[in-house]
Amino acid sequence: MERLKRSWLTRRVKVELFEQIRREMEFGVGMIAGVSRKLGVHRRMVREALRSAEPAAAATARRLRKWWMRLRSSTGF
């Protein structure tokens, strides 16, 4: 897969990249640093691919963070 900037990754391309990362971890290199070097992605993205089958939506993550912060401030955590 050609090396793409993160902003250029569409959801479909990113899902396919996650599949390729998981396949490479299982049947190929088997190390996070090796997979990231081979596919030209950051080690963080490899870890994210190993955590979940689909990439997290940034808007959803922001919404959850705002919700959590409101909850913490209202309950006094």
Contact present, 39 and 1 (Cβ < 8 Å): yes
Residue ranges per domain, the chain? Answer: 6-75
Question: Would you give per-residue pLDDT tens digits along the chain (77 residues)?
Answer: 455 555 556 878 888 999 999 999 989 888 999 999 999 999 999 999 998 877 766 667 778 888 888 888 887 76
- DSSP codes of every residue in 33-53: HHHHHHHT--HHHHHHHHH-S
Reported residue count of the chain is 77
Amino acid at 32: I
